[in-house]
Amino acid sequence: MSENQTRIVVIGAGIGGLSTAALLAKRGFPVTVLESQAYPGGCAATFEHNGYRFDAGATVGCGFHKKGPLDLLGEELGISWPILSCPAAWDFIQSDRRIHLSHSRQEIIREFPSSEPFWESQQSLASFLWSLSGDLLPWPPGDINDVASLVRMVIRKAPSFSSMLPLVNKTTLQWLASYGLDADRDFVRFIDAQLLISVQTTAQYANAVNAAIALDLPAKGTHRLTAGIGSVAEKLAKTVVDFGGTVVFGADVQNIEHKGRRVHAVTAGDETRYPADIVVANLTPDSLGGLFREPVARIDGMKKGPAHFWSAFVLYLGVEESVFGNKPISHVQIVGESGELGEGNSLFVSVSPSDDSLRAPEGFRAVTVSTHSRPEPWFQARAAGKEVYERRKEAYTQNIMSLLVQHFNEIDKKVDIIRSATPVTWERYTGRKQGYVGGYPQTSLFSVRGPGTPFSNLFLTGDSVFPGQSLPGVVTGARRLADLVERRFGTRSKK
């Protein structure tokens, strides 16, 4: 293949699609990114409304630590991220218990003294896993080259791999049990709350190895991004263009053309046809399968695992700054005393910084409040009619506001604007079937999927591909995919 023949089309300008596109554009590939919305970011976008910039879904800037996935990506692409470090990742609140999740685990240990040996084990394993993410662990292996690379990596790091092996098939709850912590109801609930927002499931089901690195995110530190989390996608989109690529907004992909086991073109809603030698889809597998007008082999998500995945119900609030007093506040996790987490029983609240004038009018803050929610009842409500659907939205809104009032005095009386997003909203704006957001529940290292599909030149990127959700996971998967494409389809001159 000559350089001029290798055309890459990326479907979706989420973080996974843009990271892959920017890396490949830098390596000399002609890249076109097609995005249905008028702005980039997908689930990690920041949108404007009545003078506010709201973070749509993802709100926590993680993975920017030294040699972390975002740091490595910025270094490779020449991006200077608009970040400032936060003194704490977030505050955990459950009734009278409040834990400041800072770089140190000391506050957690003070609250749960018997957990210290567990955290020592977790920190050791997480350090090893971070090093693997930097080395782009080829898991699950997609071809013989991946297998060879994996074998070399295991040999080179045999002692660390051997210490990890006992946890490969264990759940996090079983891991806690080895330290006698499984009977500590309060500690397990604390761990459950952290895992739900990071691996989309709780300790009873979450794989211990996945949990080790997920629980390390607060210790590695979080960062605030000037103008909101969407500035990551905005920087990446600009980088794609700077390296000679193209980003097309308002291009809603309607069809992927194929012949045999190869795809050869993508068609947008305005009937513009984009010939392609390689297609990268920043979509869930189910959503990708829906883009073929002609029947194709099913593009599965996970090999096995839970039948149900999470979406989210989100409130976007413009709130008077006086609600928060003089206390610095960024992210707060509010968890109920008992009951299943999600569905309003656990909230993640993100408040824009007081000194970021781009996020809200003077004297106000942009607030994003989210709770995990199963999508099926929302789509059933919509099918039952607008009135049923709106009643459900109102009930969720009132439930969440009543919980917020308990922690933020008179917040309900100081709301300037309020908007909501349901799983139906997420499906409409992101193209993700059923509005699934946050990635797959990380229950097993052996049920995950790599970037490959039944088509030899069609690949997946994003939070459905190992290592899964969050900015660090998505960026790590994108870096692996860029290397895979370059290896299989030829090295291009560096720009």
Mean pLDDT value of segment 263-268: 96
Q: Dihedral (C-alpha) 322, 323, 325, 328: value to the nearest 10 degrees?
A: -110
Q: Is residue 444 part of a domain?
A: yes
Q: Is residue 76 part of a domain?
A: no
Are residues 144 and 117 part of one domain? yes
Specify whether the CB–CB gap between 13 and 40 falls below 8 A.
yes
Are residues 194 and 145 part of one domain? yes
Are residues 97 and 210 part of one domain? yes
CB atoms within 10 A of CB 37: 18
Are residues 479 and 391 part of one domain? no
Q: Is residue 250 part of a domain?
A: yes
Its domain, for residue 418, covers 310-435
Are residues 317 and 422 part of one domain? yes
Instruction: Give the separation between CA 139 and CA 465, rounded to whole angstroms.
Output: 10
**Is residue 5 over pLDDT 90?**
no
**Is residue 379 over pLDDT 60?**
yes
Confidence (pLDDT) at 240: 98
Average pLDDT score over the chain: 92
Confidence (pLDDT) at 302: 46
Helices marked H in 4-115: 15-26, 69-77, 106-111
Q: Is residue 50 part of a domain?
A: no
Confidence (pLDDT) at 439: 86
Mean pLDDT value of segment 119-145: 92
Q: In the numeric block, which tokens belong to residue 481?
A: 């995919």
Confidence of residue 298 (pLDDT cuts 50, 70, 90): low
**Is residue 304 over pLDDT 60?**
no
Residue 69 burial by Cβ neighbours in a 10 Å radius (0-12, 13-18, 19+): buried
Confidence (pLDDT) at 297: 65
- pTM over 0.75, yes/no: yes
Q: Choose the final residue of a domain: 435, 457, 474.
A: 435
Instruction: Give the separation between CA 219 and CA 108, rounded to whole angstroms.
Output: 11
Confidence (pLDDT) at 469: 83
Are residues 401 and 465 part of one domain? no
Are residues 314 and 395 part of one domain? yes
Write the DSSP symbol of residue 167.
G
Are residues 447 and 300 part of one domain? yes
Confidence (pLDDT) at 390: 97
Give the residue among 423, 422, 444, 420 at the shortest CA–CA distance from 432: 423
Mean pLDDT value of segment 453-469: 93
Q: Choose the final residue of a domain: 199, 220, 241.
A: 220
Quick one: how far is CA 312 from the chain centroid?
13
Residues with Cβ within 8 Å of residue 1, at least 6 apart in sequence: 277, 489, 490
Q: Is residue 30 part of a domain?
A: yes
Residues with Cβ within 8 Å of residue 374, at least 6 apart in sequence: 308, 310, 311, 342, 343, 423
Confidence of residue 52 (pLDDT cuts 50, 70, 90): very high
Are residues 115 and 34 part of one domain? no
- Taking only the tens place, the pLDDT of each residue in 178-231 is 999 999 999 999 999 999 999 999 999 999 999 999 999 999 989 999 999 999
Q: Choose the final residue of a domain: 220, 250, 269.
A: 220
CB atoms within 10 A of CB 56: 26
**Is residue 1 over pLDDT 60?**
no
Confidence of residue 328 (pLDDT cuts 50, 70, 90): confident
Instruction: Give the separation between CA 10 and CA 185, rounded to whole angstroms.
Output: 46
Are residues 390 and 366 part of one domain? yes
Confidence (pLDDT) at 271: 92
Instruction: Give the separation between CA 404 and CA 350, rounded to whole angstroms.
Output: 12
- Taking only the tens place, the pLDDT of each residue in 165-181 is 999 999 999 999 999 99
Confidence (pLDDT) at 495: 42
The domain spanning residue 31 has which CATH number? Answer: 3.50.50.60
Residue type, 120: E
Are residues 246 and 148 part of one domain? no
Instruction: Give the separation between CA 83 and CA 151, rounded to whole angstroms.
Output: 37
Confidence (pLDDT) at 171: 97
Q: Is residue 68 part of a domain?
A: no
Confidence (pLDDT) at 301: 52
Are residues 171 and 91 part of one domain? yes
Instruction: Give the separation between CA 404 and CA 300, rounded to whole angstroms.
Output: 39
Specify whether the CB–CB gap between 243 and 33 falls below 8 A.
no
Q: Among 165-179, 198-212, 305-319, 347-361, whose mean pLDDT is lowest?
A: 305-319
Q: Is residue 69 part of a domain?
A: no
Instruction: Give the separation between CA 459 and CA 481, rounded to whole angstroms.
Output: 8
**Is residue 306 over pLDDT 60?**
no
Q: Say how many domains are in the chain.
A: 3
Confidence of residue 91 (pLDDT cuts 50, 70, 90): very high
CB atoms within 10 A of CB 254: 14
DSSP string, 150-163: HHHHHHHTHHHHHH
Pairing of strands 331-335, 88-94: parallel
Q: Is residue 61 part of a domain?
A: no
**Is residue 303 over pLDDT 50?**
no
Confidence (pLDDT) at 102: 87
Length of the chain measured in residues? 495
